[in-house]
Amino acid sequence: MTKQVGIIMGSKSDLPIMSEAAKALEELGVTYELTVVSAHRTPQRMIDYAESARKRGLKVIIAGAGGAAHLPGMVASLTSLPVIGVPILSSNSIDGWDSILSILQMPAGIPVATVALNGGKNAGILAASMIGAFDPKVAENMDNFKKDLKQKVEDSARELELKGWKESLED
């Protein structure tokens, strides 16, 4: 069956962050596939993945990587689908600056839609919003998701006001 979103990551160690994208897509009713593709260690696999993506029916690719993170940008150079980049704070990263700048600062002509450091969940939501722009059912799910966010804040505000901050701090 055709998937709408492809989630790839440079190393299996990125799974705790990138699985948040998968989880968000499931909640928002969007189909996806998920695997490991390394720009530096499996360049041919990356090329095959990116070049076949549109033909296989994908609408968006989410790519996460750490350090000198070339995966999102290289995939973007190999497909005309939108590519969402997730900078990952890997060990030996310099506070995440390396992956953020390697993904964000793409040259004119080859954009990557970059989300926050370790923003796997937001990558999933962003992909869903792209689908939702054309699919009313997903758009409705997005609206409900936003209502939930709002409800949770309002509930926690009410609880805090009732209990007072001193008691709330002890929770």
Closest contact distance (angstroms) between CB of 43 and a copy of itself is 5
91 is in an annotated binding site: no
Minimum CB distance to a copy of itself smaller for 52 or for 94: 94
Closest contact distance (angstroms) between CB of 103 and a copy of itself is 7
* Structure tokens, 36: 């490991």
Minimum CB distance to a copy of itself smaller for 31 or for 106: 106
99 is in an annotated binding site: no
How far the first Cα of the chain sits from its last, in Å, is 46
Minimum CB distance to a copy of itself smaller for 52 or for 153: 153
User: How far is the C-alpha of 98 from the C-alpha of 71, rounded, in Å?
Assistant: 13
Closest contact distance (angstroms) between CB of 126 and a copy of itself is 4
Burial of residue 160, with CB atoms counted within 10 A of its CB: 0-12 exposed, 13-18 middle, 19 or more buried: middle
Residues 21/7, Cβ–Cβ less than 8 Å? yes
Half-sphere exposure of 94 (CA within 13 A, CB side): 7
Minimum CB distance to a copy of itself smaller for 52 or for 116: 116
Closest contact distance (angstroms) between CB of 31 and a copy of itself is 14
Residues 145/129, Cβ–Cβ less than 8 Å? no
38 is in an annotated binding site: no
Q: Which residues are annotated as part of the binding site for substrate?
A: 11, 14, 41
